[in-house]
Structure 1
């Protein structure tokens, strides 16, 4: 839409906004929303209240009105201005894309800071362009001091409200708020950037990125940016000076920083970023950990407990809980994406169901167990070992495909170890796969040796990257997305996910042609090819009793 289109629709969109401005149904929320609006007025972020006639006199007859509504976030109520309802957001467009530095960017910065210092005192940094910077650690720094990192998160106070709206946009800056005292809608003019305007997001982020750039280039601050949060790290020996520099920079630029006890914290070895804990206590040893806040896990488990007690689970609740699970999973050595979240995702897209099924209840149990037991995600910066190579294959032969065999090969470039296995799938396992009638079990046969390899070589895989080479595309895809339409394949994938969580490994699944798959022969119980490898050693993994 163009500005003219928004102005043409202003008369009826304004009436619609004022007509819908009624109580939210929560008297306490209405009262708090009104109190916050009055407080914003007193701080100069709003002006008003005005009558329609006064606004038409000030702004002309084509002004729009956007409704304000409350959103509860934890123990805080946030005022949201719906500029989409008045079509103001529809008139905004941008050819740029927001480039936000989240948790991954901060983790990359910390890893470069720690891992860039080599044991021989050389400093090596590889830029995103591929250019390698080399130098020598200054003599006053020991290697441990250079790797000893701490950090904090600097948070701007009422960040959007520190930027004012343009006078030429005043006609689109009117909000309507329900007043619980009079029971009528009241009109205010926005003087500062609102929550709910697309243009406000882009406008604020331009300024925030300018602050980040000034601190980075002029003061050498090691920080990133995510909206109004500035995660900041530095060496422990210089952390206090770096911290003070960042505060003085913002003060010089005229920006206010949050001084609350919850947010205004000194540099520390463990600090919170975007609801995630960065634990740098082992940075001098060459690694750090990223984990969920304990109260986040407790809150998720408490939410699940309430759903179980009520025995109801609406699609809206399912969508919200799925997002919380996915965010928490990202900070753990665990992969529960499609596999365990499938019944919850199905509920999120359903229209009528609201009761908790046995499948959803089982998913709740596993997800909460994983969240409470999985170890934090460890990022090894110094002395990381080269990837482990594993090749697997499965075969189904016989008139009725009754002979199911599997094989696998492992090569460790650290010590040159080459181990392989080949076995016939135990009848008790095969009976589980064929219990519902399928005769062809090649899908499970291709996945099963991956599980056996993960269990048998778990010690070698711990905190390492592992390249799995598989010649079956459907099995590879299932392992990548950790999901399958087959219930028997899902059982294997769930066991694989548990192994990854326990041994803290980083798997990568790649396609290999059957002719090049070293695991093809042992999967048919043919081991002659390994006679030409003097160091090759056959191993005999124990198969599980059940999946």
Structure 2
């Protein structure tokens, strides 16, 4: 018996007439768990499939629709969500090919993020279930779990302020693209029959004389409407998609509208009332009964949902979908309607111009990348939320400090004394006592407040924080596992594996010779010329063996890189959509006109730059990267056989201290860039990442009993030290220069016994692949204990002792100083020279080398932002400041251990012409718990008033941080400090290291000088005044602060005459700055030596 050609089963007849009587099937034929099954190509006749459909539908199986059965196209695969209990039953996939000598895990999962839908106030999650079938990530949120739920729910009751905040906090980490809300609120139903009404037009927030249970239900639903308002406000902020669905004639729409009107700003209210209203009947979406629903949703996305009953069918009476449900809810929504919602949301997400959450996600991704390098964006979310919780004013505890977030006109609220519970207060307002009208009762229900943390609570939360700039957290697990392998197996064992792998690659290269030849015969001649010498087939095999997540890079290598169109999304990167501004067809149509306009532009290149650019271009022609030269447009048109080609001018940049030449093809000028849409967000591994990477193994090396390598998920790899590693061999580094890579410098680290062999293995590997790299000259360096990488010199000699040394690479500071002296002395300067200096200063700064040069970089940036005025007095002062900082620069010693940050609260007060300041310091490492407080020198306050006017509170707040930092200079060398400030203009000035106010800028400059001399890292956080422990000592209540927070009173800190003169000076005084720097550095060094 052979497989039937018709149905692919073993049949006695071929072809068969397979049409048994299956109408009486009662259970699945393969229900027994003891049977195994497999999928075969389906070749059954359509008629039996149509007969099987009702039975299979009863079993919950997925079957193709009639349209799919009649189609000749292949259906796309559908991702089926599995819970953990189902996932463990699946067989483990075993790799079909060897992974070479690397026995560690392959790279992690894709970083690409699917869109996210949050379905709120749901009972069964029908929208989430439909969305997941289309590739969405879903968060169905509801107050309870039901057995009939279509997808597992996240049990959150958003009427509870803490649980609502948890949902909104979820949106801070996983930006929600679409918020869907079900508004099936029981107390908002219109009165029918003899049932008493809970609401009416005059009593939207509850009628009088309600029973206790009805009043509680009304209060709960009112709180839900407030919660929905907060959710809508979050959607308004993030520009997410929004859809709300509920009964068309329910009071919930009026209650929600009233809640929205209490929120500010008015733009949010306008946004809500601009959402499109659509009414539909459920029967038109396949429901057997008819219910009229109202949909309020984003107009650009959810249009075309309105369908009224066409009277072409009969209706059944509505029946409860579950024994615990006695009113219409989302469980009764027809599946076709849910699918329609999801289809329209999916289409909207494919239109970046109409859908904006990706922009917010990109902004936050960028902020996270910058914060890891201690480059603090002012819009980064606070480490500690402003409010502990948000809740109706009636529920605010009597002793709590709060801020009124929304207020109904005419409401008489805001006092702190609210003795009654929320339920009692609502019922009293609902019943009325003659003193309150309907609007007053509405106000009671609508007023929302944010409750501040107490000072003790905020202090406790702050002490649990780590510094956001701890870059060691960015070391991926793959590198951590490699470190573990080297330390436990030893360099010699790893070297043997490398040699075996290299031998295997040599054999594979010979085996793939014919495959490579066939591949190149099919390639475009230009692509073949550019990739000449590259072993593309071997490269493909290596990527497939290691399960590289994005094999589309091979398509680019073999087919060429498109310059226009839409980038193919890569699973390697997070997403940052940048849509095309023009279509490629438009670019082609405009090509001839744009060429004429570009050729009429006057060239600004000097003869020297032109000669260098011509020489570099000739080298690229010789290498096969370019063809030419061509003398006319006609030659190019004849070559390309079209007149629709774009002309992109080239220009030259000289980078770095040695004026390295970079040739840039300006695709912006030719508008080619405008015809390309991208989606990837790249996080480059910068200097701060390199330092964090080296600090990580240095910490591991400090434990000589066992090799313990923590992974990012909290688990720890543990093993015995290799015998070779017990002798503490030196770690060496080498920077490999790839000649034609976007990022040329790749730094490799290896322990001394294996370094020399690794050098040879790497060069042989690159030779096999055909990659060009520096093999001689200045760019070719050997492994050494000091390696130059990304513009800094990394000293590895003390890594076993737990210290990494970092400094600017040789020559950089000398060149910067030479340029600064010319400007500081008053010589003329050009815009290009200022731009070059600005770039060098940015490269010379950062987390590892300090931010003390940032004020000068800010001033240079301002000089470049408008009409260039040449060498101004402000520019001279900024350059003089930078010279003082550079004079004090010395290698920075980064300890392997990451200490907990110092927690510092500062505050200033200015009343009746007197400035006072206070501070609270907590250091978990040393156990210090100190309080400071004092009065600002009256002559200094008078000086600030003459310069800035009567309001000098920002200067007083900034002075508090400056004087405390100077006072604790002996205790903070090399430490991270989380500085909490309750004055936002002051905090923004410190983050930017700049202020337009001269007097405030002088205080900021003083803090920058101290930060640099003490090799400290300052991170500035916001704290509300009501939560700021430093508020007490700033108001001469230091004794109370010491008692409440268990602090030691350190009293006032004297302002030295040198610091006073520096702050008093109208212009920057280099002599005074140098004196402050030297004295602070000397005392910090002396204290460090004594403590050691």
Regarding TM over 0.5, the answer is: yes
Matches of 1:474 and 1:19, distance apart in 2: 48
Counterpart residue number, 1:395: 909
Query: Where in structure 2 are the equivalents of 1:366-381 lying within 5 Å?
Result: 366-381=881-896
Matched residue SS, 2:815: helix
**Structure 1 partner of 2:693:** 109
The structure, 1 or 2, with the larger RCO (C-alpha pairs under 8 Å, 6+ apart) is 1
Question: Does the C-alpha gap of structure 1 residues 45 and 232 become closer, same or farther in structure 2, counting only changes over 3 Å?
Answer: same
CA distance in 1, matches of 2:815, 2:1016: 27
- Between the aligned partners of 1:477 and 1:459, the Cα distance in structure 2 is 27
Q: CA deviation at 1:117?
A: 3.5
Partner of 2:128: none
The reply to whether residue 140 of structure 1 matches residue 140 of structure 2 is no
The 1:488/1:13 distance shift into structure 2, 3 A limit, reads closer
How far is the alpha carbon of 1:500 from its aligned partner? 0.9
On the 8 A contact 1:106/1:231 being kept in 2, the answer is: no
CA distance change for structure 1 residues 339 and 228 in 2, over 3 Å: closer, same or farther?
closer
In 2, distance between residues paired with 1:2 and 1:450? 54
Counterpart of 1:365?
A: 880
Q: Is the 8 A contact 1:152 1:233 kept in 2?
A: yes
Which of 151, 164, 180 aligns to 2:733? It is 151
Q: State how 1:397-416 maps to structure 2 within 5 Å.
A: 397=911, 401-416=912-927
Change (3 A) 1:403 1:96: closer
Q: CA offsets per residue over residues 86-128 of structure 1, 9 Å max, x none?
A: 4444433333334432223322221222223342534444445
Instruction: Describe the shift of the 1:331–1:143 C-alpha distance in structure 2 as closer, same or farther (beyond 3 A).
Output: farther
Q: C-alpha distance in 2, partners of 1:330/1:535?
A: 34
1:51 is displaced (CA, Å) by 5.6
Pair 1:320-2:836 in alignment: yes
Distance change >3 Å, CA 336–CA 350, structure 1 → 2:
farther
Residue-pair matches, total: 473
| Change in 2 beyond 3 A, CA 1:331/1:104 | closer
Please report the TM-score for the alignment, with normalisation by the length of structure 2: 0.40
Judging changes above 3 Å, is the alpha-carbon distance between structure 1 residues 365 and 143 closer, same or farther for their aligned structure 2 residues? farther
- Partner of 2:811: helix, strand, or coil? helix
Unaligned segments of structure 1, at least 5 residues: 161-204, 206-226
Label 1:453 to 1:252 Cα distance change in 2 as closer, same or farther (>3 A).
Answer: same
RMSD across aligned positions (CA): 3.1
User: Within the alignment, does 1:9 sit opposite 2:525 as a pair?
Assistant: no
Give the 3-state SS of the residue equivalent to 1:110 in structure 2. Answer: helix
- Counterpart of 1:60 in structure 2 is 641
Structure-1 residue corresponding to 2:1032 = 521
Q: After superposition, where does 1:346-357 map in structure 2 within 5 Å?
A: 346-354=862-870, 356-357=871-872
Distance in 1 between residues matched to 2:601 and 2:954, nearest whole Å: 56
Which deviates the most, 421-430 or 2-11? 2-11
Per the TM alignment, residue 465 of structure 1 is displaced from its structure 2 partner at its CA by 1.6
Aligned 1:450-465 pairs, distance under 5 A:
450-465=961-976
| Structure 1 contact 418–535 (Cα < 8 Å) conserved | yes
Question: Could you say what secondary structure the match of 1:445 adopts?
Answer: helix
Flag structure 2 segments of 5+ consecutive residues without an equivalent: 1-581, 1064-1092
Shift of 1:231: 1.5
State the SS of the aligned residue for 2:866.
coil
Other-structure match for 1:94: 678
Q: Distance in 1 between matches of 2:680 and 2:1046?
A: 59
Shift of 1:346: 2.3
- Aligned partner of 1:506 among 978, 994, 1017: 1017
In the TM superposition, what whole-angstrom CA distance separates every residue of 1:414-455 from its partner, at most 9, and x where no partner exists?
342322222222233333323337334322222222112111
Question: For residues 243-322 of structure 1, what are the structure 2 equivalents within 5 Å?
Answer: 243-307=759-823, 311-322=827-838
Which region of structure 1 is more displaced relative to structure 2, 509-518 or 495-504?
509-518
| Conserved 8 A contact 1:455-1:499 | yes
> 1:7 and 1:426, CA in 2 relative to 1: closer, same or farther beyond 3 A?
closer
Q: Which residue of the partner structure matches residue 121 of structure 1?
A: 705
Of 496, 521, 530, the residue aligned with 2:1007 is 496
Indicate which of 929, 945, 966 corresponds to 1:418: 929
Tell me the distance in 1 between the aligned counterparts of 2:879 and 2:654: 25
Aligned 8 A contact 2:823 2:875 in 1:
no
C-alpha separation between the residues in 1 aligned to 2:646 and 2:996?
A: 50
Task: Select between 259-268 and 135-144 the one with higher mean Cα deviation.
Answer: 135-144
> How big is each residue's C-alpha offset from its partner over 1:496-520, in whole Å with a ceiling of 9 and x where there is no partner?
1111111111222233344443322
Distance in 2 (alpha carbons) for counterparts of 1:257 and 1:513: 55
The CA distance in 1 between the partners of 2:735 and 2:846, in whole Å, is 20
More strand by share: 1
* Kept in 1: contact 2:821–2:883 (CA 8 A): no
Shift in alpha-carbon separation, 1:434–1:279, aligned structure 2, 3 A: same
Out of 616, 627, 644, which is 1:47 matched to?
A: 627
TM-score, length basis structure 1: 0.77
Larger radius of gyration: 2
